[in-house]
Protein backbone atom coordinates (compact mmCIF):
# COMPACT_ATOMS: atom_id res chain seq x y z
CA UNK A 1 0.00 0.00 0.00
CA UNK A 2 1.52 3.34 -1.10
CA UNK A 3 1.75 6.22 1.36
CA UNK A 4 0.83 9.71 0.22
CA UNK A 5 3.78 12.11 0.58
CA UNK A 6 3.43 14.65 3.37
CA UNK A 7 3.10 18.06 1.70
CA UNK A 8 3.77 21.53 3.09
CA UNK A 9 2.89 24.78 1.33
CA UNK A 10 5.20 27.78 1.38
CA UNK A 11 3.35 30.88 0.16
CA UNK A 12 5.63 33.71 -0.96
CA UNK A 13 3.99 36.97 0.12
CA UNK A 14 6.75 39.57 0.13
CA UNK A 15 6.26 41.15 -3.30
CA UNK A 16 5.71 44.85 -3.99
CA UNK A 17 3.16 44.77 -6.83
CA UNK A 18 4.30 48.10 -8.27
CA UNK A 19 2.24 47.68 -11.46
CA UNK A 20 -0.91 48.09 -9.34
CA UNK A 21 -0.04 51.55 -8.05
CA UNK A 22 -1.79 53.54 -6.63
CA UNK A 23 -3.88 50.75 -5.08
CA UNK A 24 -0.76 48.73 -4.26
CA UNK A 25 1.70 50.48 -1.95
CA UNK A 26 4.87 49.53 -0.09
CA UNK A 27 2.88 48.81 3.06
CA UNK A 28 -0.14 47.35 1.32
CA UNK A 29 1.04 45.51 -1.78
CA UNK A 30 -0.89 43.58 -4.38
CA UNK A 31 -1.22 40.28 -2.47
CA UNK A 32 -3.01 42.00 0.43
CA UNK A 33 -5.64 43.59 -1.83
CA UNK A 34 -9.00 42.27 -3.09
CA UNK A 35 -8.10 43.24 -6.66
CA UNK A 36 -10.61 40.88 -8.26
CA UNK A 37 -13.58 41.79 -6.09
CA UNK A 38 -13.38 38.87 -3.62
CA UNK A 39 -10.95 38.28 -0.77
CA UNK A 40 -7.36 39.52 -0.89
CA UNK A 41 -5.23 37.42 -3.26
CA UNK A 42 -3.17 36.00 -0.37
CA UNK A 43 -6.31 34.74 1.40
CA UNK A 44 -7.56 33.09 -1.80
CA UNK A 45 -4.17 31.42 -2.31
CA UNK A 46 -4.16 29.93 1.18
CA UNK A 47 -7.75 28.73 0.87
CA UNK A 48 -6.97 26.96 -2.43
CA UNK A 49 -4.30 24.74 -0.86
CA UNK A 50 -5.99 24.01 2.47
CA UNK A 51 -7.47 20.68 1.24
CA UNK A 52 -3.94 19.46 0.45
CA UNK A 53 -2.12 20.36 3.64
CA UNK A 54 -4.29 22.13 6.24
CA UNK A 55 -3.20 25.15 8.25
CA UNK A 56 -0.76 23.04 10.26
CA UNK A 57 1.46 22.64 7.15
CA UNK A 58 1.16 26.10 5.61
CA UNK A 59 4.02 28.60 5.96
CA UNK A 60 3.97 32.18 4.68
CA UNK A 61 7.08 34.22 3.93
CA UNK A 62 6.85 38.01 3.96
CA UNK A 63 8.76 41.17 4.81
CA UNK A 64 9.03 42.72 8.25
CA UNK A 65 6.94 45.75 7.24
CA UNK A 66 4.10 43.43 6.11
CA UNK A 67 4.10 40.99 9.03
CA UNK A 68 1.21 42.44 11.08
CA UNK A 69 -1.09 42.87 8.06
CA UNK A 70 -0.31 39.39 6.76
CA UNK A 71 -0.97 37.84 10.14
CA UNK A 72 -4.27 39.72 10.46
CA UNK A 73 -5.48 38.39 7.10
CA UNK A 74 -4.62 34.79 8.08
CA UNK A 75 -5.72 34.40 11.71
CA UNK A 76 -5.63 30.58 11.48
CA UNK A 77 -1.93 30.60 10.55
CA UNK A 78 0.32 29.62 13.45
CA UNK A 79 2.54 32.57 14.46
CA UNK A 80 5.60 30.35 14.10
CA UNK A 81 4.62 29.64 10.49
CA UNK A 82 4.86 33.31 9.50
CA UNK A 83 8.47 33.71 8.36
CA UNK A 84 9.32 37.40 8.52
CA UNK A 85 12.36 38.40 6.48
CA UNK A 86 14.29 41.30 8.04
CA UNK A 87 15.32 42.45 4.53
CA UNK A 88 14.32 41.40 1.03
CA UNK A 89 16.87 39.03 -0.52
CA UNK A 90 14.84 37.59 -3.43
CA UNK A 91 13.34 34.09 -3.39
CA UNK A 92 16.27 31.71 -2.83
CA UNK A 93 17.01 32.78 0.79
CA UNK A 94 13.38 32.74 1.94
CA UNK A 95 12.74 29.38 0.24
CA UNK A 96 15.94 28.01 1.76
CA UNK A 97 15.01 29.22 5.25
CA UNK A 98 11.51 27.75 5.08
CA UNK A 99 12.84 24.49 3.66
CA UNK A 100 15.37 24.17 6.46
CA UNK A 101 12.62 24.81 8.98
CA UNK A 102 10.46 22.05 7.44
CA UNK A 103 13.44 19.68 7.20
CA UNK A 104 13.88 19.83 10.97
CA UNK A 105 10.47 18.17 11.29
CA UNK A 106 10.54 15.90 8.25
CA UNK A 107 13.35 16.01 5.64
CA UNK A 108 11.37 13.76 3.28
CA UNK A 109 8.33 16.08 3.28
CA UNK A 110 7.48 17.70 -0.05
CA UNK A 111 7.44 21.50 -0.13
CA UNK A 112 5.06 23.32 -2.50
CA UNK A 113 6.31 26.85 -3.22
CA UNK A 114 3.45 29.04 -4.41
CA UNK A 115 3.16 32.74 -5.26
CA UNK A 116 0.58 34.59 -3.15
CA UNK A 117 -0.78 36.91 -5.84
CA UNK A 118 -2.05 34.75 -8.70
CA UNK A 119 -5.59 33.88 -9.78
CA UNK A 120 -6.98 30.40 -10.47
CA UNK A 121 -10.48 29.93 -11.84
CA UNK A 122 -10.67 26.10 -11.68
CA UNK A 123 -9.53 25.28 -8.15
CA UNK A 124 -10.39 21.57 -8.30
CA UNK A 125 -8.25 21.06 -11.39
CA UNK A 126 -5.52 23.21 -9.83
CA UNK A 127 -5.34 20.88 -6.83
CA UNK A 128 -5.22 17.84 -9.12
CA UNK A 129 -2.19 19.32 -10.90
CA UNK A 130 -0.55 20.16 -7.58
CA UNK A 131 -1.07 16.58 -6.40
CA UNK A 132 0.71 15.30 -9.54
CA UNK A 133 3.60 17.68 -8.91
CA UNK A 134 3.85 16.57 -5.27
CA UNK A 135 3.94 12.91 -6.36
CA UNK A 136 6.69 13.71 -8.86
CA UNK A 137 8.75 15.59 -6.27
CA UNK A 138 8.36 12.71 -3.82
CA UNK A 139 10.46 10.57 -6.20
CA UNK A 140 13.41 12.92 -5.72
CA UNK A 141 12.98 15.11 -8.82
CA UNK A 142 12.55 18.85 -8.36
CA UNK A 143 9.34 19.63 -10.20
CA UNK A 144 7.56 22.71 -11.45
CA UNK A 145 4.21 23.50 -13.07
CA UNK A 146 4.05 24.86 -16.58
CA UNK A 147 0.96 26.62 -17.93
CA UNK A 148 -0.10 25.70 -21.44
CA UNK A 149 0.25 29.00 -23.35
CA UNK A 150 -2.90 30.46 -24.85
CA UNK A 151 -1.10 33.25 -26.71
CA UNK A 152 2.47 34.48 -27.40
CA UNK A 153 2.97 36.28 -24.08
CA UNK A 154 6.20 38.30 -23.77
CA UNK A 155 5.78 39.08 -20.06
CA UNK A 156 6.41 35.53 -18.80
CA UNK A 157 9.41 33.25 -18.67
CA UNK A 158 9.03 29.91 -20.44
CA UNK A 159 9.93 26.29 -19.71
CA UNK A 160 11.37 24.39 -22.65
CA UNK A 161 10.55 20.67 -22.72
CA UNK A 162 12.73 17.81 -23.91
CA UNK A 163 9.79 16.65 -26.03
CA UNK A 164 6.28 17.86 -26.80
CA UNK A 165 3.75 18.99 -24.21
CA UNK A 166 1.31 16.15 -24.85
CA UNK A 167 0.99 12.55 -23.79
CA UNK A 168 2.18 12.48 -20.17
CA UNK A 169 1.28 13.97 -16.81
CA UNK A 170 4.94 14.67 -15.95
CA UNK A 171 7.49 15.77 -18.54
CA UNK A 172 11.23 16.37 -18.56
CA UNK A 173 12.54 19.94 -18.60
CA UNK A 174 15.30 20.94 -20.99
CA UNK A 175 15.82 24.49 -19.70
CA UNK A 176 14.25 27.69 -18.43
CA UNK A 177 13.97 30.54 -20.93
CA UNK A 178 13.91 34.24 -20.07
CA UNK A 179 11.04 36.46 -21.22
CA UNK A 180 11.15 36.42 -25.04
CA UNK A 181 10.43 39.08 -27.62
CA UNK A 182 7.24 38.82 -29.66
CA UNK A 183 8.76 36.81 -32.51
CA UNK A 184 10.29 34.19 -30.21
CA UNK A 185 7.09 33.97 -28.16
CA UNK A 186 5.14 33.23 -31.34
CA UNK A 187 7.67 30.50 -32.21
CA UNK A 188 7.36 29.02 -28.73
CA UNK A 189 3.58 28.76 -28.94
CA UNK A 190 3.63 27.36 -32.48
CA UNK A 191 6.30 24.78 -31.67
CA UNK A 192 4.41 23.14 -28.80
CA UNK A 193 7.55 22.58 -26.71
CA UNK A 194 7.25 25.52 -24.33
CA UNK A 195 5.08 26.25 -21.29
CA UNK A 196 4.71 29.42 -19.26
CA UNK A 197 6.75 29.45 -16.06
CA UNK A 198 4.22 30.16 -13.27
CA UNK A 199 6.80 30.28 -10.47
CA UNK A 200 5.55 27.19 -8.61
CA UNK A 201 8.14 24.66 -7.39
CA UNK A 202 7.90 21.28 -5.65
CA UNK A 203 10.68 19.31 -3.96
CA UNK A 204 11.55 17.16 -0.99
CA UNK A 205 13.08 19.33 1.68
CA UNK A 206 16.32 17.34 1.75
CA UNK A 207 16.64 17.55 -2.05
CA UNK A 208 16.38 21.34 -2.12
CA UNK A 209 18.85 21.75 0.73
CA UNK A 210 21.29 19.51 -1.16
CA UNK A 211 20.80 21.59 -4.32
CA UNK A 212 21.40 24.82 -2.38
CA UNK A 213 24.57 23.32 -0.89
CA UNK A 214 25.77 22.42 -4.38
CA UNK A 215 24.88 25.63 -6.21
CA UNK A 216 24.59 28.34 -3.52
CA UNK A 217 27.22 27.45 -0.87
CA UNK A 218 27.11 30.92 0.71
CA UNK A 219 23.37 30.55 1.29
CA UNK A 220 23.92 27.03 2.65
CA UNK A 221 26.39 28.36 5.23
CA UNK A 222 23.88 30.98 6.34
CA UNK A 223 21.13 28.38 6.68
CA UNK A 224 23.47 26.19 8.74
CA UNK A 225 24.06 29.09 11.13
CA UNK A 226 20.31 29.66 11.47
CA UNK A 227 19.79 25.94 12.11
CA UNK A 228 22.40 25.91 14.86
CA UNK A 229 20.78 28.92 16.49
CA UNK A 230 17.35 27.28 16.25
CA UNK A 231 18.63 24.31 18.24
CA UNK A 232 19.58 26.76 21.00
CA UNK A 233 16.26 28.62 20.85
CA UNK A 234 17.69 31.78 19.27
CA UNK A 235 16.60 31.43 15.64
CA UNK A 236 14.93 34.84 15.43
CA UNK A 237 18.02 36.75 16.53
CA UNK A 238 20.23 34.77 14.14
CA UNK A 239 17.89 35.45 11.23
CA UNK A 240 18.18 39.17 11.97
CA UNK A 241 21.97 38.87 11.92
CA UNK A 242 22.45 36.45 9.01
CA UNK A 243 19.67 37.23 6.55
CA UNK A 244 21.07 40.59 5.33
CA UNK A 245 24.35 38.82 4.44
CA UNK A 246 22.74 36.15 2.26
CA UNK A 247 23.04 36.34 -1.55
CA UNK A 248 20.14 38.16 -3.19
CA UNK A 249 19.16 35.73 -5.94
CA UNK A 250 16.04 34.02 -7.22
CA UNK A 251 15.52 30.28 -6.84
CA UNK A 252 15.22 30.12 -10.64
CA UNK A 253 18.69 31.55 -11.28
CA UNK A 254 20.34 30.15 -8.17
CA UNK A 255 19.15 26.54 -8.32
CA UNK A 256 16.73 25.62 -11.09
CA UNK A 257 18.94 26.68 -13.98
CA UNK A 258 21.81 24.57 -12.62
CA UNK A 259 19.94 21.40 -11.70
CA UNK A 260 20.53 18.46 -14.05
CA UNK A 261 17.16 16.79 -13.72
CA UNK A 262 13.92 18.75 -13.53
CA UNK A 263 10.34 17.76 -14.23
CA UNK A 264 7.27 19.78 -15.14
CA UNK A 265 3.57 19.05 -14.84
CA UNK A 266 1.56 20.83 -17.56
CA UNK A 267 -1.44 22.69 -16.17
CA UNK A 268 -4.57 24.27 -17.56
CA UNK A 269 -6.73 25.56 -14.72
CA UNK A 270 -7.57 29.16 -15.56
CA UNK A 271 -4.30 30.61 -14.30
CA UNK A 272 -3.48 34.31 -14.43
CA UNK A 273 -0.59 36.04 -12.69
CA UNK A 274 -2.68 39.21 -12.23
CA UNK A 275 0.33 41.16 -13.38
CA UNK A 276 -1.25 44.51 -14.19
CA UNK A 277 -4.49 46.49 -14.33
CA UNK A 278 -4.96 44.97 -17.79
CA UNK A 279 -5.04 41.49 -16.21
CA UNK A 280 -7.51 42.67 -13.58
CA UNK A 281 -9.78 44.03 -16.31
CA UNK A 282 -9.59 40.76 -18.24
CA UNK A 283 -10.67 38.77 -15.16
CA UNK A 284 -13.43 41.11 -13.99
CA UNK A 285 -17.13 41.01 -14.84
CA UNK A 286 -17.89 43.60 -17.53
CA UNK A 287 -20.97 45.44 -18.73
CA UNK A 288 -22.31 45.26 -22.27
CA UNK A 289 -19.71 47.83 -23.42
CA UNK A 290 -16.79 46.00 -21.81
CA UNK A 291 -16.48 48.44 -18.92
CA UNK A 292 -15.57 47.47 -15.35
CA UNK A 293 -16.75 50.20 -13.01
CA UNK A 294 -18.46 50.75 -9.63
CA UNK A 295 -22.20 51.49 -9.80
CA UNK A 296 -21.76 55.11 -8.70
CA UNK A 297 -19.62 55.95 -11.74
CA UNK A 298 -21.07 57.53 -14.90
CA UNK A 299 -20.10 56.16 -18.30
CA UNK A 300 -21.29 57.86 -21.51
CA UNK A 301 -20.19 56.65 -24.92
CA UNK A 302 -17.36 54.79 -23.16
CA UNK A 303 -16.12 51.25 -23.76
CA UNK A 304 -13.50 48.86 -22.46
CA UNK A 305 -12.57 50.98 -19.45
CA UNK A 306 -11.62 49.88 -15.93
CA UNK A 307 -12.62 52.28 -13.15
CA UNK A 308 -11.48 51.60 -9.58
CA UNK A 309 -12.57 53.74 -6.63
CA UNK A 310 -10.54 52.55 -3.65
CA UNK A 311 -12.29 55.01 -1.35
CA UNK A 312 -15.68 53.42 -2.01
CA UNK A 313 -14.37 49.85 -1.82
CA UNK A 314 -13.07 50.60 1.67
CA UNK A 315 -16.45 51.93 2.83
CA UNK A 316 -15.62 55.63 2.69
CA UNK A 317 -17.30 58.49 0.86
CA UNK A 318 -17.92 57.71 -2.80
CA UNK A 319 -16.67 60.06 -5.48
CA UNK A 320 -18.52 60.22 -8.79
CA UNK A 321 -16.12 59.29 -11.58
CA UNK A 322 -17.44 60.15 -15.04
CA UNK A 323 -15.99 58.96 -18.34
CA UNK A 324 -17.26 60.44 -21.61
CA UNK A 325 -16.24 59.37 -25.09
CA UNK A 326 -13.15 57.39 -24.06
CA UNK A 327 -12.10 53.80 -24.61
CA UNK A 328 -9.60 51.41 -23.09
CA UNK A 329 -8.61 53.47 -20.06
CA UNK A 330 -7.70 52.47 -16.52
CA UNK A 331 -8.76 55.06 -13.92
CA UNK A 332 -7.81 54.41 -10.28
CA UNK A 333 -8.81 56.82 -7.50
CA UNK A 334 -7.33 56.78 -3.97
CA UNK A 335 -7.12 59.37 -1.19
CA UNK A 336 -3.82 60.79 -2.37
CA UNK A 337 -3.42 59.71 -5.99
CA UNK A 338 -5.23 59.43 -9.31
CA UNK A 339 -3.98 57.15 -12.09
CA UNK A 340 -5.15 57.44 -15.69
CA UNK A 341 -3.45 55.17 -18.20
CA UNK A 342 -4.39 53.39 -21.44
CA UNK A 343 -5.11 49.74 -20.66
CA UNK A 344 -2.60 48.63 -23.27
CA UNK A 345 0.13 50.49 -21.36
CA UNK A 346 -0.79 49.12 -17.94
CA UNK A 347 2.61 47.41 -17.63
CA UNK A 348 4.19 50.90 -17.64
CA UNK A 349 2.61 51.90 -14.31
CA UNK A 350 5.82 50.71 -12.64
CA UNK A 351 7.53 53.69 -14.30
CA UNK A 352 5.35 56.01 -12.19
CA UNK A 353 6.67 54.37 -9.02
CA UNK A 354 10.23 54.70 -10.31
CA UNK A 355 9.67 58.39 -11.06
CA UNK A 356 8.21 59.06 -7.62
CA UNK A 357 11.26 57.44 -6.03
CA UNK A 358 13.58 59.44 -8.26
CA UNK A 359 11.91 62.74 -7.34
CA UNK A 360 11.86 62.06 -3.60
CA UNK A 361 8.14 61.50 -3.20
CA UNK A 362 8.45 58.20 -1.37
CA UNK A 363 5.43 58.92 0.83
CA UNK A 364 3.18 58.24 -2.19
CA UNK A 365 4.54 54.76 -2.91
Q: 3-state SS string over 6-20?
A: CEEEEEECCCCCHHH
Q: Say if 1 falls within a structural domain.
A: no
How much of the chain is in helix, strand and coil states, percent to nearest 5? 40, 25, 35
Grade residue 17 by pLDDT with cuts at 50, 70 and 90.
confident
Average confidence (pLDDT) over 159-165:
81
Both 189 and 268 in one domain: the answer is yes
Q: Is the C-alpha dihedral spanning 89, 95, 100, 105 positive or negative?
A: positive
Give the pLDDT confidence of 88-147 residue by residue, as tens digits: 999 999 999 999 999 999 999 999 999 999 999 999 999 999 999 999 999 999 999 999
Q: What is the pLDDT of residue 318?
A: 78
Q: Which residues in 219-251 are b (16+ Cβ under 10 Å) and which e?
A: bbebbeebbebbeeeebeebbeebbeebeebeb
Strands 194-204 and 110-115: antiparallel
Both 101 and 242 in one domain: the answer is yes
Q: Say if 306 falls within a structural domain.
A: yes
Both 226 and 130 in one domain: the answer is yes
Average confidence (pLDDT) over 163-176:
82
Both 51 and 123 in one domain: the answer is yes
- Mark residue 229 as left, alpha or beta (left: phi above 0; alpha: psi -120 to 50; beta: remaining): alpha
Taking the C-alpha atoms of residue 362 and residue 365, their distance in angstroms, rounded to an integer, is 5
Q: DSSP state, 331?
A: E
Query: To which H or E segment does residue 263 belong?
Result: strand 262-267
Both 311 and 268 in one domain: the answer is no
Q: Which residues in 134-156 are b (16+ Cβ under 10 Å) and which e?
A: bbbbbeebbbbbbbbbeebbeeb
Taking the C-alpha atoms of residue 327 and residue 325, their distance in angstroms, rounded to an integer, is 7
Taking the C-alpha atoms of residue 261 and residue 272, their distance in angstroms, rounded to an integer, is 27
Residue ranges making up the domain that contains 344: 277-364
Q: What is the pLDDT of residue 317?
A: 75
Both 265 and 335 in one domain: the answer is no
Amino acid sequence: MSVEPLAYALILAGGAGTRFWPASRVRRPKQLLPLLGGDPLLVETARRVLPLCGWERILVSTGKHLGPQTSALLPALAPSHLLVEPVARNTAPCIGWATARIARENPSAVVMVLPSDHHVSDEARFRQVLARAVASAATGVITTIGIRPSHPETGYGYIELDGGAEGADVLSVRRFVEKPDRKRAEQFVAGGRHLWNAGMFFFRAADMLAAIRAHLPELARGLDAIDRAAQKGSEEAEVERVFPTLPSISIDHGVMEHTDKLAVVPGDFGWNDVGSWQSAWELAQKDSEGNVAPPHSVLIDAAGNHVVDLRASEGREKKVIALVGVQGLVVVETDDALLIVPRDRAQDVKAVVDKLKETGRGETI
